[in-house]
Amino acid sequence: MGNGRAIVPAKGVKYLARQWCVMSPSAGVSDPNTLAQSITYACENGDCTSLGYGSSCGNLDAQSNASYAFNTYFQTMNQSKGACNFNNMAVITTVDPSKPPCRFEIMIDTRQQKKASPTPSPTVYRSSAAEIEDIFAALITGIVGLFTLI
- Position 76 scores a pLDDT of 95
- Position 20 scores a pLDDT of 98
pLDDT category of residue 11 using cuts at 50, 70 and 90? confident
Judge contact between 32 and 140, C-beta under 8 A: yes
- What is the rounded average pLDDT of the residues 44-62? 94
Report whether pLDDT(148) > 90: no
Q: Counting beta carbons within 10 angstroms of the beta carbon of residue 109, is it exposed (0 to 12), middle (13 to 18) or buried (19 or more)?
A: middle
Q: Say whether 53 sits in a helix, a strand or coil.
A: coil
- Position 39 scores a pLDDT of 95
pLDDT in tens, 81-123: 899 999 999 999 999 999 999 999 999 988 755 555 555 655 5
DSSP bridge pairs for 23: 90
